[in-house]
């Protein structure tokens, strides 16, 4: 039957139970939470299967696995991928193309502009063109960082596409150039059912990680000078790695 693992210790104990089992875990993008422990203990086992039922954004460990990476990093360690990696298609927490079209078409007052703000660059561009050509909507797919003045109905700054590094040994992804757009009145933002290459949510996760780090620093105010110095050195090392 179904057994719940409530505490972190109960969850970790699952990986030391040798009996065959199905582990149901919220995967996210495999970059945080309990799923990382389950992957660490099972990715290297050829008798195991990792079944993804949710979308994995470009640049995440989950996407690397789906794309066929032969190893990934977990908790600073390199873990070989010997388990069978599968994906269950057709399941999503987002509406599909037809669902989004039904939604945007249901407005009595036609939106002055539609922003497609979530979805891989190719998907977002294709969906934008569909809204423009087939439904006569003023649609626009901006890249992360683009600024649009809703009051004036014009682009203040149009951000360029940013390459996103995929798994090791795989080429970077670069989005197509978006078209400029203007409009006034009522605005509507739509997220397509796939993660955009230059997705704002990925950068938002990075900002959230920074905020968490500040909170952790605050909690460690009472540490010894030796430990505080070690903590500071580790943060500086991380900053030096990414300060490009």
Is 177 strand, coil or helix?
A: coil
CB neighbourhood size of 217 (10 A): 14
pLDDT at 53: 87
Which tens digit of pLDDT belongs to each residue from 60-72? 899 999 999 999 9
| Token pair of 118 as six digits | 């979530």
Which tens digit of pLDDT belongs to each residue from 133-179? 999 999 999 988 888 998 888 898 888 876 555 444 443 433 333 33
- Tell the residue number behind the tokens 């990934």, with chain if given: 72
Average of per-residue pLDDT values in the chain: 80
Question: Interior CA angle at 80 toward 76 and 82, to 5°?
Answer: 150
Question: Interior CA angle at 42 toward 39 and 47, to 5°?
Answer: 140
Rounded to the nearest 10°, the torsion over CA 12, 18, 21, 26 is 20
119 vs 198, more confident: 119
Is 231 strand, coil or helix?
A: helix
- Cα distance between residue 50 and residue 229, in whole Å: 40
Beta bridge partners of 118: 191
Confidence band for 180, pLDDT divided at 50, 70 and 90: very low
- Cα distance between residue 163 and residue 11, in whole Å: 37
């Amino acid at each position: 039957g179904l057994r719940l693992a409530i505490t972190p210790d109960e969850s970790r104990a699952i990986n030391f139970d040798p009996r065959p089992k199905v582990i149901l875990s919220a995967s996210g993008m495999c970059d945080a939470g309990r799923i990382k422990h389950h992957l660490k203990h099972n990715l290297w086992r050829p008798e195991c299967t990792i079944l993804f039922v949710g979308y994995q954004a470009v640049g995440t460990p989950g996407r690397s696995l789906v794309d066929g990476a032969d190893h990934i990093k977990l908790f600073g360690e390199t873990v070989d991928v010997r388990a069978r990696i599968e994906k269950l298609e057709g399941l999503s927490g987002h509406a599909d193309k037809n669902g989004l079209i039904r939604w945007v078409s249901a407005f009595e007052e036609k939106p002055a502009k539609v922003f497609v703000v979530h979805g891989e660059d190719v998907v977002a561009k294709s969906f934008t063109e569909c809204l423009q050509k087939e439904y006569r909507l003023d649609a626009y797919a901006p890249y992360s960082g683009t600024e649009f003045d809703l009051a004036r109905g014009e682009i203040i700054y149009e951000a360029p596409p940013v390459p996103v590094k995929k798994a090791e040994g795989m080429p970077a992804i670069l989005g197509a150039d978006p078209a400029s757009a203007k409009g006034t009145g009522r605005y509507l933002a739509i997220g397509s059912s796939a993660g955009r290459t230059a997705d704002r949510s990925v950068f938002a996760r990075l900002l959230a990680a920074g905020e968490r780090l500040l909170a952790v620093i605050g909690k460690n105010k009472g540490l010894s000078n030796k430990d505080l110095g070690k903590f500071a050195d580790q943060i500086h090392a991380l900053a030096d790695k990414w300060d490009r």
